Amino acid sequence: MTVISKVDTNKAEWAADKFIDYFENFSSIEDYLRFAKGEAVSSMATIPGISDKDAFLNEDIHPQDMDFEVKFVGDRFKDSISQEMYIKYLTATSSHVIEHNIPGRELRWMVYEKNTKKIIGFIRFGSPTINSKPRNIWLGKAPDLSRFNRHAVMGFAIVPSQPFGFNYLGGKLLALMCVSHYAREEVSKVFEKNIALFETTSLYGSTTSASQYDGLKPFIRYKGLTDSKFLPLLHRESFHELHNAFSEWNNNQPLTENRASSKKMKRQTKMISIIRNSLEDKTKLDKFNSVINMAFNLTQRKRAYISDYGYGNVREVISGEQEELVRGQNWDKFYLENIIAWWKKKAGKRYEKLKKEGRFRDKVELWTQEDDIQIIR
């Protein structure tokens, strides 16, 4: 498709001002996340009962007395949760803005504590990113993507509800569930692949030296920092106003194909390129570039983690050196019941410590128009 490379300077100045007004007031990634989240929450439809916060676990229960149930999301699954409910509840829980339409295959879960029938977290599996420096270093080279994609899956949303996450190391439980044999088998069925490698990255970057994925050996291992930073996305009306204008200037055509992967990021990148090509006022161009560079610096390289699901030769199979996957010495540890038993020991110590110190929390924390959560998660 043909896409414009320049627009009239007046149009470029208007668009540049939109970017400047959006980004220049953010001094940290927390500022950006809170602002974007506020926009998302303000447009979120009311969920029946969500104001009572009854759907989320806040009971005082010892981890040893808990049991868990995974509920699949989407009409294709029996006894499933609706996509609408998943998105609304996750939007109310996560500090990230939730993207509704994700390219590639995916599988979404809501996880419940069985006895109370309360939500304790959310998981979304999806197709892995095309390139990863820590992955390439671990493999010894960049893999053949067709072979890699036959065996790999990525965890994109691994979000505990609060206060479950704080009280019980809830993020660690959800991460461990992602790398269980149960998860591997279910993802393999849905994706029609032979999954053997799990990848994910931390929410925070290199300035935060720990994440919920640390301390989970042999199940999940840290493999280094990702190689690139990215420009935070414009959200909601700010993005749509700009892209509608650029589409009109582009003979009423979008700046990328509608089916393109990461189309929002690609469209934003194209808008920035057109603005830079079109601005004639050097002062305005310098101001625009300064704000865009500052926005780039809001984000950081992420901490990358992998799991081999207990196989002993995942690296060799993905690299093409071997064909058949072989079970490793830790294979049995990855059965879901064994993973949960491992977590219960750690969570029990955490629970008992919080109770002794009087720091156990019983307030459900949700992003709503009434509540201002002082936590980014």
Stretch 20-29: mean pLDDT, rounded? Answer: 88
Look at residue 190 in the predicted model and tell me its pLDDT.
Answer: 96
**pLDDT in the model for residue 129:** 84
CA dist 2 and 295 (Å) reads 29
SS3 call for 175:
helix
Domain assignment present for 351: yes
pLDDT given at position 205: 59
Q: Is the pLDDT of residue 12 over 60?
A: yes
Q: Is the domain of 68 the same as that of 118? A: yes
pLDDT for res 259? 75
- Rounded CA separation 148/128 (Å): 9
Q: Which of 82-91, 101-110, 263-272, 279-288 has the highest mean pLDDT?
A: 279-288
> Once rounded to an integer, what is the mean pLDDT over residues 65-77?
96
Q: Are residues 118 and 181 in the same domain?
A: yes
Structural domain ending residue among the three candidates 276, 296, 316: 296
Regarding whether 209 and 164 lie in a shared domain, the answer is yes
Q: Pick from 270, 296, 322: which residue ends a domain?
A: 296
pLDDT of residue 184: 98
- Asked whether residue 307 is assigned to any structural domain, the reply reads yes
> In the prediction, which pLDDT does 103 show?
55
Calpha distance 226→336 (Å, rounded): 29
Q: For the CA atoms of 51, 53, 55, 56, what is the dihedral angle to 10 degrees? A: 150
Q: 3-state class of 226 per DSSP?
A: coil
Tell whether 265 and 173 lie within a shared domain: no
Bridge partners of 327, per DSSP, are 311
User: Does 209 score more than 70 pLDDT?
Assistant: no
Q: What is the pLDDT of residues 111-160, one digit of tens each?
A: 999 999 999 999 999 998 888 899 999 999 999 999 999 999 999 899 99
At 28 the pLDDT is 80
With 60 as the cut, is the pLDDT of residue 285 above it?
A: yes
Among candidate residues 246, 271, 296, the one where a domain is terminated: 296
Q: To which H or E segment does residue 148 belong? A: helix 145-149
List Cα–Cα distances, 9 to 16, 238, 278, 285, 289, in angstroms: 10, 20, 6, 11, 16
Give a yes or no: residue 368 inside a domain.
Answer: no
pTM for the whole thing? 0.83
The pLDDT value given to residue 252: 94
Digit-coded pLDDT (tens) for 191-206: 999 999 999 998 755 5
Average pLDDT of the residues in 21-30? 86
The pLDDT tens digits for 307-364 are 999 999 999 999 999 999 999 999 999 999 999 999 999 999 999 999 999 999 999 9
Whichever domain contains 79, its CATH number is 3.40.630.30
Residue 129 lies in a domain: yes
Please check whether residues 22 and 76 belong to one and the same domain.
no
Whether residues 80 and 117 share a domain: the answer is yes
Q: pLDDT (tens digit, 9 = 90+) per residue, 218-274?
A: 999 999 988 766 788 898 889 999 999 999 999 999 998 887 667 888 899 999 999
Is residue 1 a part of any domain in this protein? no
More confident residue, 276 or 39: 276
**pLDDT of residue 207 exceeding 60:** no
Are 202 and 252 in a shared domain?
Answer: no
Q: Residues 185, 124: one domain?
A: yes
pLDDT band at 46; cut points 50, 70, 90: low
Which segments within the chain are labelled E, that is strand? Answer: 68-72, 106-113, 118-126, 152-160, 197-205, 221-225, 302-307
- Number of separate domains in the chain: 2
Answer yes or no: do 196 and 252 share one domain. no
Following CA atoms 244, 250, 255, 258 in sequence, which dihedral angle do they give, to the nearest 10 degrees?
Answer: 80
Averaged pLDDT, 69-76: 96
Domain shared by 222 and 242, yes or no = no
CA–CA distance, 200 with 213 (Å, rounded to integer): 9
158 domain-assigned: yes
With pLDDT > 70 as the criterion, what percentage of the chain qualifies?
88
How far is Cα 364 from Cα 357, in angstroms, rounded to an integer? 20
Q: Whole-number mean pLDDT of the chain?
A: 89
| 277 in Cβ contact with 6 (< 8 Å) | yes
- Check whether residue 192 and residue 320 sit in a common domain: yes
Quick check: is 332 in a domain?
Answer: yes
Q: What backbone phi and psi angles, to 5 degrees, belong to 203?
A: -70, -50
Does the residue 373 lie in any domain?
no
For residue 316, give its domain range: 44-229+299-357
Same domain assignment for residues 81 and 129:
yes
